[in-house]
Amino acid sequence: MTMTNLAYDTPADGGDVSQQDIAAMQALRPVPRISIQAFCETEGVASPVKLAGEDRRMAKAHLKVHMGGIATAIEFYQSAPTPNLILLESRSEPKQLLEQLGQLSEYCDPTSKVVVIGHYNDVGLYRELIRSGISEYVIAPVSMTDIVSVVSSIFVDPEAEPIGRSIAFIGAKGGVGSSTIAHNVAWAMSTLFKSEVVVADLDLAFGTANINFDQDPVQGIAEAVFSPERVDEVYLDRLLAQCAEHLSLLAAPSTLERVYDFDPDAFSQLIDTAQRSAPLLVLDIPHVWTGWAKSTLIKADEIVITATPELANLRNTKNMMDMLKRLRPNDPPPRLIINQAGVPKRPEIGSSDFAEPLGITPMAVIPFEPLLFGNAANNGRMLGEMDAKSPIVGLVNEIAHVLTGRSEIKAKKKAGLGMLLGKLSRNKK
């Protein structure tokens, strides 16, 4: 048993997660691949422990919850090895609790860490538990956030190098411009903030990042995905193509010489390594719903859905939003970008009507401007390189600010959008 001086006395809410909890969870790093066994006496503790095991930050950990307290644990470990971490709930009085823990220690491996969730706010008990080698003493009631925070505090080295933030872009349909926006936002983040950004094109068959950035690398993301055992920071660096001073690309081969069927965790090693190599990782995910696409979205720090203002896009966006909210209950909902608004003679859904059933405010509404986008695509340049003063480039820059936490979505930007759309209308006359 190991020791860390930390006690918690926080309220629990069971299943509902507050905005404060979500903010706290966003600051936590993923827990490494460890085994955890919990022995709970009450459903009020078992429920948040189970919810913690479902959080994406605990994805690598293997958690098993048993009903029954320390007595059940003692019986269990008489014939089973102890895991990396044991979570114990006990309603026993301090003296009895210390006696039970003494009995349990006879069957515990010295390297196993123990967290006790007790029902007595007793300073003397806390000191005794710390002296006896307990890693943490948490006072019930507890929340899911408390559990993940405790596990993280024990197993995540606070002195370790920071992990880069992953931002996943996906389209509600094919052809909505998700990749174009992802690449331009990545370029904007690298140029505006002078921050290292890596773009990973996950559409191995039809990816366009190499074309948009005017690159033709010999190697790229395929080498990493098909040889995950070789992937480390040095190997990854050899695969990266330099697109700008602070922007690197993991290009897709964009060939059909082989099929690209992957296991759900096929990109995990690559993404983990890339996040240790750069502060910002932009994941360009194709419009598919496979095990690996779903897994990659679940684990991303931020998700951006791009949609055009029509009914099929609204349906698909609603389905994706609902699914991702269920899969990521402790994270903010995905961001929404409405693209290609104001196509001449095309009936479309207004941005407010599109966003209303989704329950979110669009991060940006980008007007249809084929000349700017077409010239940029055909020349292998970013929008900001073609026309730095374009209002659309201004919108892309604002997206970059929001996704890096430098600003919030501002409702008043609707006025600016109306001016843009009005300008387009005047140009059509």
* Tens digit of pLDDT at every position of the chain (429 positions): 433 333 434 444 445 567 777 778 887 888 888 999 999 999 999 999 999 999 999 988 999 999 999 999 999 999 999 999 999 999 999 999 999 999 999 998 888 999 999 998 888 888 889 888 899 999 999 999 999 999 998 988 776 667 889 999 999 999 999 999 999 999 999 999 998 999 999 999 999 999 999 998 888 999 999 998 899 889 999 999 999 999 999 999 999 988 999 999 999 999 999 998 899 999 999 999 999 999 999 999 999 999 999 999 999 999 999 999 999 988 999 999 999 999 999 999 999 999 999 999 999 999 999 999 999 999 999 999 999 999 999 999 999 999 998 888 765 444 344 444 444 444 444
Q: What local confidence, expressed as pLDDT, does residue 156 receive?
A: 83
Q: What is the dihedral of CA 361, 420, 316, 211, to 10 degrees?
A: -120
CB neighbour list of residue 275: distance below 8 Å, 6 or more residues apart = 163, 164, 165, 166, 281
Q: What is the pTM of this model?
A: 0.79
Q: What local confidence, expressed as pLDDT, does residue 97 receive?
A: 92
Query: Strands 113-118 and 136-139: what pairing?
Result: parallel
User: Encoding tokens for residue 55?
Assistant: 């959080």
Q: If residue 383 lies in a helix (H) or strand (E), which one and from where to where?
A: helix 383-386
Helices marked H in 282-369 — which ranges?
291-299, 311-327, 351-355
Q: What is the dihedral of CA 410, 369, 250, 401, to 10 degrees?
A: -20
| Residue linked to tokens 């979505």 | 409
* 340 burial level (CB within 10 Å; 0-12, 13-18, 19+): buried
**Backbone phi, then psi, for 372, in 5-degree steps?**
-65, -50
Strand-pairing partners, residue 37, are 64, 86
- The CA distance from 180 to 172, in Å, is 14
Look up residue 288 and give its DSSP letter. Answer: -
Q: If residue 90 lies in a helix (H) or strand (E), which one and from where to where?
A: strand 85-90
Domain ranges of the chain: 30-155, 165-404
* 302 burial level (CB within 10 Å; 0-12, 13-18, 19+): buried
Cβ neighbours, 10 Å, residue 415? 9
Task: Tell me how far the alpha carbon of residue 419 is from its chain's centroid.
Answer: 34
E strands within 318-399? Answer: 335-341, 364-367
Q: Which CATH architecture has domain 165-404?
A: 3-Layer(aba) Sandwich (3.40)
| 3-state secondary structure (DSSP) of residue 282 | strand
User: Encoding tokens for residue 317?
Assistant: 């966006």
User: In CATH terms, are 30-155 and 165-404 the same topology?
Assistant: yes
Q: What local confidence, expressed as pLDDT, does residue 17 receive?
A: 64
Percent helix, percent strand, percent coil in the chain, to nearest 5: 45, 15, 40
- The CA distance from 86 to 421, in Å, is 59
Q: What local confidence, expressed as pLDDT, does residue 33 receive?
A: 86
CB neighbour list of residue 109: distance below 8 Å, 6 or more residues apart = 81, 82
The topology under which CATH files domain 30-155 is Rossmann fold (3.40.50)
